[in-house]
Amino acid sequence: MKLDRRQLLGGGTLVAAGALAAVGPRGERAAAQSAAAGHAAMGHGGGAAGPTFRKGATVDHRANGFNPTDVLRDFDAGRTQRLASGRTLREWEVVAADKELEVAPGITYPAWTYNGRVPGPTLRAHEGERLRVRFVNGSEHPHTMHFHGIHPAEMDGVPGVGPGMIRPGKSVVYEFDAEPFGMHLYHCHVGPLAEHIARGMYGAFIVDPRRGREEADELMMMMNGFNTNFDAEGNQVYAVNSIAFHHVNEPIRVRRGELVRIYLANILEYDPINSFHLHGNFFDFYPTGTRLEPADFTDTIGMVQGQRGILELRFPHSGMFMFHAHKTEFAELGWMGFFEVV
């Protein structure tokens, strides 16, 4: 099948615009919230009060096409249909596109994206379903989608195996079963691998257990960063869901006593390890989310690249609770935010 690239890029824009339209009202509410929360957070940032970008400088989320506040709760369930066998077939279309993103106020980065955002769409399925991901490469560079999960070799999304590398303008369909349940990843696997990941080609892939999980306020956090000077030695900007210090300015609003579930992953390139630390609270930790019993009750966890897990907690106290990498350097270079418990 032959596709016109311009058409593809147009399609990518539409996908991004659609995403924006879908989250529009919520985005406005979040902005209104941040005005209130911004006051509370005002004491924070600058000099001895802690790290900050230049006061008053903000990222243009509209131009970026996504707001990290929306990415947190934006789970893409795709389209479903029941197969003759009784199984559910779940389908997505994911389009790769090159896009300039403002990763910190005033700093642009030539990103490579899935569906025009970094991280890419959070694909969410149920254990045992048949999954079909149509991947369209609208980028100027070859890409793939390599899923973490259990699948046949030809569906692995690496060059030289099965459909291999997907050239610009080409597309492919990855098809496999949703297993095992847990918090997983997908990312491009074309070489140089470090660059393809660092540029933004990754996203979360969540498989819910057959029996489901307890009702909760669910959040997806992808710990990432941007090596803006391309020296391949560490990063200049660190964040969850790409925009540094975003949740300092726009704290994540959660309800006191309500179960909060965080799907957390580390995809950070050029640094060997990342971590997550929550102030004033402890959480149950489920490594990779593949067991239903927590392995730890803690307030700090470390993750190498590709490691992920599920955090569950209820905030007993209302107020502002900071969360950040407990690698202080990353925290002070942007990987820092607040929960606002109401």
Q: Which residues bind other proteins (CB under 8 A)?
A: 45-48, 51-55, 57, 103-109, 226, 228-231, 236, 244-245, 329, 332-334
User: What span, in angstroms and rounded, lies between the C-alpha atoms of 20 and 22?
Assistant: 5
Q: Are 155 and 161 in contact (CB under 8 A)?
A: no
The CB density around residue 270, as the number of other CB atoms within 10 Å, is 17
Q: Rank residues 142 and 334 by Cβ distance to other proteins and give the closer one.
A: 334
Q: Which two tokens stand for residue 327?
A: 């690698």
E-strand spans in 62-195? 75-76, 79-82, 88-104, 107-114, 122-126, 130-137, 146-147, 171-177, 182-187
Q: What DSSP letter does each residue of 250-309 carry, written as one string? A: SPEEE-TTSEEEEEEEE--SSSSEEEEEESS--EEEEETT-SSS-SEEESEEEEETT-EE
Q: Rank residues 107 and 216 by Cβ distance to other proteins and give the closer one.
A: 107
CB of 37 to other proteins, least distance (A): 18
CB of 43 to other proteins, least distance (A): 13
Q: Rank residues 125 and 239 by Cβ distance to other proteins and give the closer one.
A: 239
Q: Rank residues 48 and 153 by Cβ distance to other proteins and give the closer one.
A: 48
CB of 229 to other proteins, least distance (A): 5
Q: Which H or E element spans position 25?
A: helix 5-41
CB of 26 to other proteins, least distance (A): 28
Q: Rank residues 127 and 332 by Cβ distance to other proteins and give the closer one.
A: 332
CB of 312 to other proteins, least distance (A): 31
